[in-house]
Amino acid sequence: MIDNTYEIILDYELQYLEKAVEFLNKSNKDIGWSLEDMYRKLSNKNPSGKGYLAVAMHNKEIVGTASLTKKTALIKGVMVEVAEVGDTYTHPQFRRILKPRNYYRLNKDPESYVNKSMFGRLLTEVRDAALKDGVEIIYGTPNENSYPGYTKHLGFVPTEKFKINSYCNYKLSYIWKKIAIKFKLNFLFKTPETVNLEKNTASFQEEYSKFILKIFENNYDFIIYKEYNYLIYRYLSNNNYFFDKYYIDGILSCLIVYKIKIINNINYIFIAEVLYNNINIVNEHIKLLLKIKFIDVFVIWTDSITYRKFKLYKQLFLYRKNIPIIIYDCSSISKVIVNSKNLSFGLGCTDNV
- Contact criterion met (CB below 8 Å) for 127 and 328: yes
Q: What is the pLDDT of residue 346?
A: 60
- Contact criterion met (CB below 8 Å) for 181 and 264: yes
Q: What is the pLDDT of residue 205?
A: 87
| pLDDT reading at 200 higher than 70 | no
Q: What is the pLDDT of residue 63?
A: 96
Q: What is the pLDDT of residue 197?
A: 41
Query: Which CATH superfamily is 5-158 part of?
Result: Gcn5-related N-acetyltransferase (GNAT) (3.40.630.30)
| pLDDT reading at 192 higher than 60 | no
Q: What is the pLDDT of residue 352?
A: 44
Q: What is the pLDDT of residue 66?
A: 96
- Going by C-beta distance under 8 Å and a sequence separation of 6 or more, which residues neighbour residue 293? none
Q: Range(s) for CATH 3.40.630.30 in the chain?
A: 5-158
Of all helices (H) and strands (E), which one includes residue 332? helix 332-338
| pLDDT reading at 76 higher than 90 | no
User: Per mean pLDDT, which range of 29-33, 184-188, 253-257 is the poorest?
Assistant: 184-188
- The mean pLDDT of 3-26, rounded to a whole number, is 94
CA atoms of 98 and 96, how far apart (whole Å): 6
Q: What is the pLDDT of residue 333?
A: 76
DSSP class of residue 143?
-
Q: What is the pLDDT of residue 347?
A: 55
Q: What is the pLDDT of residue 312?
A: 92
Q: Which amino acid is at 36?
A: E
Task: Express each pLDDT in 301-344 by its tens digit.
Answer: 888 888 888 889 999 999 999 989 999 977 777 877 888 887 87
Q: What is the pLDDT of residue 187?
A: 59
Residues in a beta bridge with 138 = 83
| pLDDT reading at 103 higher than 90 | yes
Select the CATH number that applies to the domain covering 164-197+238-324 from these four: 3.40.50, 3.40.630, 3.30.70, 1.10.3470.
Answer: 3.40.630
CA dihedral 211, 162, 148, 83 (to 10 degrees): 30
- The mean pLDDT of 252-262, rounded to a whole number, is 87
- Taking CA atoms, 244 is separated from 2, 237, 241, 282, in Å, by 56, 16, 11, 11
Instruction: Give me the percent of the chain exceeding a pLDDT of 90.
Output: 43
Task: Express each pLDDT in 105-143 by its tens digit.
Answer: 999 999 999 999 999 999 999 999 999 999 999 999 998
- Going by C-beta distance under 8 Å and a sequence separation of 6 or more, which residues neighbour residue 143? none
